[in-house]
Chain A
Amino acid sequence: MSNNDLKGNGVNVARRRFLADTLRTAVGVGLVAVTLGVYQRQARALPATAIRPPGVTDEKSFQSACIRCGLCVRDCPYDTLKLAELGDDVALGTPYFEARDVPCEMCDDIPCVKACPTGALNPALKEINEARMGLAVVVDQEACIAFQGLRCEVCFNVCPVRGKAISLDMQHNPRSGKHALFIPVVHSSDCTGCGKCEKACILEEAAIKVFPVALAKGMLGRHYRLGWEQKAEAGKALVTPDVPHQYNLPEGVSYEHGGRGLITGERPLPPTPPVAPEAPLSPFSSNPLDTLNRKGGL
């Protein structure tokens, strides 16, 4: 073997080793990167009970901005927020709270948002009632005692946006035939997702729960239009014109939809637009303590 051959082989071996090394490193790092990417996708799936602090609109943009420093946790005066530890289902190191555990007290000055150095908690949020941390849902109508006709209304009374985020719908109680059901109904227009209703629910397992908005909220198809809204907007019916219903009634007798019913002995009136019945007096005091401290059954 000549010296030249030796040298050539040496270069070849070195080059081969370099290429093999580079390839090995690239493949190894590539595998790590792909695994990390897949793991990241999974980490974006927020468990239903994990609620983000105020100022988070969607999980994806939050995870592009949160650096997991915990400054929001430190400035939370009620120890509501915590950072996800390794082993939790929430993306590692990110802040969240569980409403049944400690709900958000909705501080007026929103210290958690002020503390955030990166804007992961959007500093544009100035009014805590505008926060949409989650959305309360009456998840179990079988367990909720209001559906059994029992007076509870605790969720309604503890709600910081009282009367707006949760209202009580009075319905007929078909079991007794003579009582009312006061059904809690959550309104997404006002619910901040603070979780005080879930925390306060008197059941062993809460019948009203706060979920991340993306989980809780449905959406009408974008093409869908509600006929009566369109009609109100346009000032007239857009599809078929409204024709007053023709009743086949004896002479001198008419029927009125507005509430009078069958009318006899009068000249038939032109049909009047239905008048909204006067809102019944609310059975609920404006002071939540009145109902919360109420003694005895109703």
Chain B
Amino acid sequence: MEPGGRPGAEVIAQKGWFYAHRYLILRRISQLAILGLFLVGPLFGIWLVKGNLASSLTLDVLPLSDPLVLLQVFAAGHVPETAALLGGLIVLVFYLIVGGRVYCSWVCPVNIVTDFAEWLRRRLGIKGSAHFSDKTRYWLLGAILLVAAVTGSVAWELINPVSMVYRGLVFGMGLAWGIVAAVFLLDLFVGRRAWCGHLCPVGAFYGMLGEAAVLRVSAVRREQCDDCMDCFAICPEHQVIKPALKGADKGIGPVITSGHCTNCGRCIDVCARDVFAFSTRFSNNSRQAVSGVNQKSEVSS
């Protein structure tokens, strides 16, 4: 990346804007399509999906429930009925396969807001950023379960911006736009990626699912990296890239194994050298052998 330049400028110049935003476009389509499925019911009376992200019923058959919400219900001292338990299990298994934080980057509507804040932050050159510990989200995750247990109530859902926005869009917003604006301004002025990257306990929970996920981004052609830093600049959790991209000498495989990686694919988008690709957790070593690099690390590992 040129100093002050935009991440992905090179790949845009080489292969065009659409290629450099292909995963971003797919994610937006995914986010809006899922929202659309919920909205065609109330707007046009076509009931494909009822409910919202906390719990839904698709085509009157398939129940889906948010495992974190159910965890809060358990913490509050209630055992949910079978429909919710089954729905929670289906969602849990799905995210264990595709990566927990796929929820964040491919489903969650707040992601669109915070991505926009980050884009604007870059374009306006806003530099200052408050420091939140990376661990804050885990503290918050623990805190919301504790509050649920102490008050015997699903308390976090009173203020959870993620569920609030979705419920608002599908059932009626009230003053929830204020919360959307608050998250936007937080990310724009207070701290870079403050909400999704540091605070959100929903993301923290799904990140924990991601620690074991099968689908992962891999720096398969990391030997082609020319240190342009575009991937670091664009990545919402840029700490996850370095071990995979630069770990060849330390015997670390090319797969980004951190649960924080949202599988958003933006690193794949902006890389002019095609370093990254979607892969699986299991190809962490075999890929190296196939690509014929990292002999040293293979020997050492």
Where the two chains meet, the residues of A that have a C-beta atom closer than 8 Å to any C-beta of B are 21-22, 24-26, 28-30, 32-33, 36-37, 39-41, 43-44, 60-61, 63-71, 73-75, 82-88, 91-93, 115-120, 123
Contact = CB atoms under 8 A, between A and B. Distances in A.
Contacts of B66: 67
Which among A29, A36, A82 has the highest number of chain B CB atoms within 10 Å? A29
A21 to B, nearest CB: 5
A25 B168 contact: no
B133 A40 contact: no
B55 A64 contact: no
Nearest to A22: B133
A61 B153 CA distance: 8
Nearest to A24: B133
B41 A74 contact: yes
A86 B178 contact: yes
Interface string B63-84: 1011001101100111111011
B155 A65 contact: no
B136 A29 contact: yes
A83 B73 contact: no
B130 to A, nearest CB: 11
B81 A85 contact: no
A65 B70 CA distance: 9
B84 A117 contact: yes
B78 A65 contact: yes
B135 A25 contact: yes
Contact of A32 (B51, B143, B154, B163): B143
B174 A67 contact: no
B159 interface: yes
Interface of B: 41, 47, 50-52, 54-57, 63, 65-66, 69-70, 72-73, 76-81, 83-84, 87, 132-133, 135-136, 139-140, 143-144, 146-147, 150-159, 163-164, 167-168, 170-176, 178-179
Contacts of B81: 116-119, 123
B153 A86 contact: no
B174 A40 contact: no
B140 A86 contact: no
A69 B54 contact: yes
A22 B131 CA distance: 12
10 contacts: A25-B133, A32-B140, A33-B146, A36-B158, A69-B56, A86-B173, A86-B174, A93-B163, A119-B80, A119-B81
Contacts, number: 169
Contacts of A120: 78
B152 A60 contact: yes
B144 A36 contact: yes
Given A43-B158, A69-B52, A86-B174, A61 B78 contact: yes
Contacts of A88: 174
B139 A71 contact: no
B218 to A, nearest CB: 32
A1 B54 CA distance: 60
A29 B143 contact: yes
Contact of A117 (B55, B136, B172): B55
Contacts of A115: 50, 57
Contact of A40 (B50, B87, B151): B151
Contacts of A118: 55, 70, 73, 78, 80-81, 83-84
B168 A70 contact: no
Contact of B147 (A33, A44, A92, A123): A33
Contact of B159 (A36, A75, A82, A85): A36
A39 B158 contact: yes
Contacts of A29: 136, 139-140, 143
B143 A33 contact: yes
A37 B151 contact: yes
Contacts of B168: 85-86
Contact of A83 (B56, B136, B167, B179): B167
A88 to B, nearest CB: 6
A63 B173 contact: no
Given A25-B139, A117-B81, A119-B81, A87 B157 contact: no
